[in-house]
Amino acid sequence: MLLLFLVLYLRTSFALLLTTDNRISTRNITCKHDLASTTTIYVQNCEACLITLRNYPIETTLSLTGSGLAGFSYTCLQVNQVEMYHENLVRECHYFPQNTLSGYDDFCIASPYTFVRGSYRACICTTNTCNFNYTQCMRETNRFPYEKKTLFTNTITELTNRVKCYQPYEDYREQSYSNLIPLCSDDDDICKNYLFNQGVLCAISVDRTNKIIRQTLIPSIYSAYLIKYKTRFCKTYTDNSKYIIFSQCELEETVCMCTYDECNKDFETCRTNEGIRNNDYFVLLLFVFLLNICI
């Protein structure tokens, strides 16, 4: 019986994608949108509208919504962007709703590892020009308080277990052709340590010159990378319970992502899921202990 339990446990896993289908657009609304630092226009064919307010400039690669100039910023969210921005707000804000697309939160943190934390407020709404200003966006999200809102579902699996990825930063010393960009500067050890301790997804890329890039992705941005590689950067992918591999990518790179310690040591380790599985080791030791007791 104990042996059966062990086998079933070690075989239990999940795919990174909840569905292989791309999200289908259900709206065609107009939103206020920033083209450049000083130009704002109205854009059509949006899935949702976003407005963000920062009291001071926030410079970070670890936040989609938090990073930007001081003051208001406006974004037209396309259908393949809504999930990554929504997930970013759910992870970085105190009370942003998880089960509905529209919502707002005045207490969001973009750079939790720094001493001066990047606080901001954000609102997503789903009606025409609803991000004209922050007050209007809040009113639109509360316009029909007693009406049942449409449930928002993700296409990416929620990752919560921390993983220790293999050598996440030493690969950026040479020129490479990859969409896995450095998330921390070379001299920012606090940022590097934060990523190493907070990672939930490991990635490895082999570019057209055979250079290897490794990356550690944290809760606030991992879904954005998965969605971008799936819908924009690459033409094909292979997804199973152990890994996801993207190929035929625009920068002629091949990328593998995985969820076990040191699984991005090399491409073969990622593909065969031979990273260090600490939880499995613990269960194995527990099984041996219980087996000895039974004997």
CA distance to 27, 47, 75, 137, 203, per residue, from 44 (Å): 10, 9, 11, 17, 35
Q: What per-residue confidence (pLDDT) applies to 240?
A: 80
Whether residue 6 sits in one domain with residue 56 = no
* Whether the predicted pLDDT of 208 surpasses 90: no
CA distance to 75, 118, 123, 273, per residue, from 17 (Å): 26, 30, 26, 17
Give the integer Cα–Cα distance in Å for 28 and 45: 5
Whether residue 246 sits in one domain with residue 199 = yes
Tokens of 161: 């277990």
- Cβ–Cβ < 8 Å for 207, 213: yes
Give the integer Cα–Cα distance in Å for 112 and 191: 10
- In this prediction the pTM is 0.84
What 3-state class would DSSP assign to 58? strand
- Residue 162 CA from chain centroid, whole number: 14
Whether residue 284 sits in one domain with residue 175 = yes
Q: Grade residue 115 by pLDDT with cuts at 50, 70 and 90.
A: low
Residue 9 falls inside a structural domain:
yes
Sheet of 212-217: strands edge to edge? 212-217, 201-206, 254-258, 244-249, 234-239
What b/e sequence results for 119-147 when a residue is b if at least 16 CB atoms lie within 10 Å of its CB, and e otherwise? Answer: bbbbbbbbbbebbbebebbbebbeeeeee
Whether residue 133 sits in one domain with residue 6 = no
Whether residue 167 sits in one domain with residue 287 = yes
Q: What per-residue confidence (pLDDT) applies to 121?
A: 96
Give the integer Cα–Cα distance in Å for 276 and 274: 7
Whether residue 38 sits in one domain with residue 15 = no
Whether residue 114 sits in one domain with residue 232 = no
Q: What per-residue confidence (pLDDT) applies to 145?
A: 62
Q: What per-residue confidence (pLDDT) applies to 288?
A: 44
Whether residue 213 sits in one domain with residue 88 = no
CA distance to 19, 164, 186, 200, per residue, from 259 (Å): 18, 9, 25, 7
Domain residues for the domain of 108 are 29-141
Number of C-beta neighbours around residue 32 at 10 A: 23
Condensed to tens digits (0 to 9), the pLDDT of residues 149-185 reads: 778 999 999 999 999 999 755 555 555 678 888 888 8
Residue 174 falls inside a structural domain:
yes
Q: Grade residue 118 by pLDDT with cuts at 50, 70 and 90.
A: confident
Q: What per-residue confidence (pLDDT) applies to 11?
A: 38
Tokens of 36: 């450049």
Give the integer Cα–Cα distance in Å for 91 and 162: 15
Tokens of 160: 């919560």
Whether residue 33 sits in one domain with residue 15 = no
DSSP-assigned beta bridge partners for residue 123: 51, 104
Angle at 254 between CA 248 and CA 256, to 5 degrees: 125
- Cβ–Cβ < 8 Å for 220, 91: yes
Whether residue 295 sits in one domain with residue 168 = yes
Whether residue 119 sits in one domain with residue 99 = yes
Residue 149 falls inside a structural domain:
no
Long-range Cβ pairs for the range 240-244 (8 Å, 24+):
240/15, 241/13, 241/14, 241/15, 242/13, 242/272, 242/273, 243/270, 243/271, 243/273, 244/15, 244/16, 244/17
* Whether the predicted pLDDT of 230 surpasses 50: yes
Structure-model confidence comparison of residues 272 and 65, the more confident one: 65
Total domains present in the chain: 2
The residue type of 40 is: T
Condensed to tens digits (0 to 9), the pLDDT of residues 2-19 reads: 444 443 344 344 578 888
* Whether the predicted pLDDT of 34 surpasses 90: yes
Residue 97 falls inside a structural domain:
yes
Give the integer Cα–Cα distance in Å for 149 and 67: 29
Of 141, 173, 193, which closes a domain? 141
| Closest to 249 (Cα-Cα) out of 236, 238, 268, 239 | 236
